[in-house]
Structure 1
Amino acid sequence: MCLIVFAYQYHPEYRLILAANRDESYQRATSPAQFWPQTPDMLAGRDNEAGGTWLGISRRNRFAAVTNFREGGQQAAELSRGLLTTDFLTSSLSAPAFANQLSSQATRYSGYNLLLADDKQLLYCSNRSSTVQQIKPGIHALSNHRLDTPWPKSEHVRQEMDELLSSGEVTAKQLIKCMQRRTPFPDEQLPSTGVGIELERTLSPPFITTAVYGTRSTSIFLWKHDGSVTFVEQSYLPDGRKGEIRRYRW
């Protein structure tokens, strides 16, 4: 998962409105969003290589999503970051308790950003930061640096969501459209994360398409104040065309 934009406690009808693009190698084995047989209250896609997920929800009023923290020259870590999300979704710990216990395990993972929600709060934590942040009401964006870092892609999708929420009715189709820009941003606007300017340019738009790596899905999560949920996952083919779409409601 490489880009998440969300409105938290910002809309009169919804507790959380979220759209997220997952960027990954086209060769990495993946299963689409579904309820997992071994944990039937958890809805998430699955990374079939490492066994975790980039984003998921639970019927027990829990949500989690992870992005990588982009750094040049990273070494392989002991554990996959996708296990952070599944571990929380299947845990009985509150979001703060789960986040606080991660501090003793931070070095077992490559750099990560993690969003955690239970029925009381939404939190952000990272093993590149020493604090756990309680999210304030508003529109936020998370890419491959700290929450609300003003990278061009993050600012673009935040503006797209702001305009959408100001226009009236919120739908999954409109939210998916917010995540579709494929044009790179000008070099002078790009961050310097140690990967070189060519890769910075390639990774700069919200929707990425290359020969071997790109945006593989957009996930939409609508969580109303009354507890009802809509979850939509739009998958994409390697050439960027839309593939299967899955919808869940309860």
Structure 2
Amino acid sequence: MCILFVANQQRKDMPLIIAANRDEFYRRPTLPSHFWSDAPDLLAGKDLEAGGSWMGVTRQGRIAAITNVRAANAQRDNAKSRGELVTQSLCDPSHQTLSARLRQSREKYQGYNLLFGDINALQVYNNIEDRLQEVSPGIHGLSNATLNAPWPKVTRGMQSLSEYCQHSECIVPQDLFALLRNDEQADDDRLPDTGISKEWEKRLSSIFIQSPDYGTRASTIILVNQDLQLYWHERQFSPEGAILSEVSERFQLTGE
């Protein structure tokens, strides 16, 4: 997962909205989102290389998603797969216990942001800064730096989501997919400097990324309405940006 946007408590009819893109190498084997046979309440895609996921929910209302942090000076040898943190957090109902474990294990992983919690209390943990932040009511964006870092694609998506929440009559997944499909790249003088080449900084500066080997492989929408019904919508993409598959699920949250 490379970028996600959250509208928390911005509409009475849809108190939680999450729109996210997963960017990854196309050669990495993946299963689209599904309810896992060994964890039947867990809905998530699956990384077949390491066994974890990049984003998921449970029928009880737990939510987790991960983004990589680009920190050239913080590379770690023999690092564990960050995707396992998503499944661990979805299976752990105790936020306090999980936060402590994340801090204890932070040096075992490459840089990451982990969004985790439930529909009423989401947090983001950044292992590079060892920082835990509440996702307060408002519009938020998370990419490969800290929460709400002013990268062009983050601010662009936050503004689009804010305007959409304010002016739309109702929330429609198709509109949120369009927000996530924005392929506008940042001007050269606004590119972040994360230790990679300027060519790659440019290529990665759009919300939706396309290249032959690496790009946006999936877009996922999570909507939770005022009646505590959760809607999950996912699209998987080819390197050319064509839709390969779609998954839609809807269920009533049961609580812990």
For normalisation by structure 2, the TM-score amounts to 0.94
Letter in 2 for 1:13: D
Asked if structure 1 preserves the Cα contact closer than 8 Å seen for 2:76 and 2:109, the reply is no
1 CA distance for matches of 2:141 and 2:119? 21
Asked if structure 2 preserves the Cα contact closer than 8 Å seen for 1:8 and 1:17, the reply is yes
2 CA distance for matches of 1:55 and 1:16? 16
Q: CA deviation at 1:91?
A: 1.7
1 CA distance for matches of 2:128 and 2:43? 28
Residue of structure 2 equivalent to 1:89: 90
Letter in 1 for 2:213: V
Asked if structure 1 preserves the Cα contact closer than 8 Å seen for 2:10 and 2:165, the reply is no
Residue of structure 2 equivalent to 1:152: 152
Quickly say closer, same or farther: Cα 1:119–1:26, change in 2 above 3 A: closer
116-125 vs 179-188, which deviates more?
116-125
2 CA distance for matches of 1:15 and 1:77? 40
Asked if structure 2 preserves the Cα contact closer than 8 Å seen for 1:100 and 1:132, the reply is no
1 CA distance for matches of 2:151 and 2:176? 20
Letter in 1 for 2:204: L
SS of 2:72's equivalent in the other structure is: coil
Residue of structure 1 equivalent to 2:191: 190
SS of 2:43's equivalent in the other structure is: strand
Residue of structure 2 equivalent to 1:213: 214
Residue of structure 2 equivalent to 1:177: 178
Residue of structure 2 equivalent to 1:137: 137
* CA displacement 1:183-239 (0-9 Å, x = unmatched): 321110110000121110010000111110000010000012322100000111111
202-211 vs 64-73, which deviates more?
64-73
Quickly say closer, same or farther: Cα 1:163–1:40, change in 2 above 3 A: same
Residue of structure 1 equivalent to 2:99: 99
SS of 1:173's equivalent in the other structure is: helix
2 CA distance for matches of 1:55 and 1:122? 14
Q: Unaligned stretches of 5+ in structure 1?
A: none
2 CA distance for matches of 1:42 and 1:76? 31
Quickly say closer, same or farther: Cα 1:96–1:226, change in 2 above 3 A: farther
SS of 2:131's equivalent in the other structure is: coil
165-174 vs 24-33, which deviates more?
165-174
2 CA distance for matches of 1:226 and 1:100? 32
Residue of structure 1 equivalent to 2:233: 232
Q: Unaligned stretches of 5+ in structure 2?
A: 252-256
Residue of structure 1 equivalent to 2:68: 68
Residue of structure 2 equivalent to 1:12: 12
2 CA distance for matches of 1:63 and 1:45? 13
Q: CA deviation at 1:159?
A: 1.2
Asked if structure 2 preserves the Cα contact closer than 8 Å seen for 1:77 and 1:110, the reply is no
Q: Which runs of 4+ in 1 moved over 4 A?
A: none
* CA displacement 1:55-93 (0-9 Å, x = unmatched): 000011100000000122634443111100100111232
Letter in 1 for 2:79: E
Residue of structure 1 equivalent to 2:254: none
Asked if structure 2 preserves the Cα contact closer than 8 Å seen for 1:71 and 1:195, the reply is no
The share of aligned pairs that are identical, in percent, is 37
Aligned-residue CA RMSD in angstroms? 1.3
For normalisation by structure 1, the TM-score amounts to 0.96
Q: CA deviation at 1:125?
A: 0.8
Asked if structure 2 preserves the Cα contact closer than 8 Å seen for 1:114 and 1:124, the reply is yes
71-80 vs 36-45, which deviates more?
71-80
Letter in 1 for 2:174: K
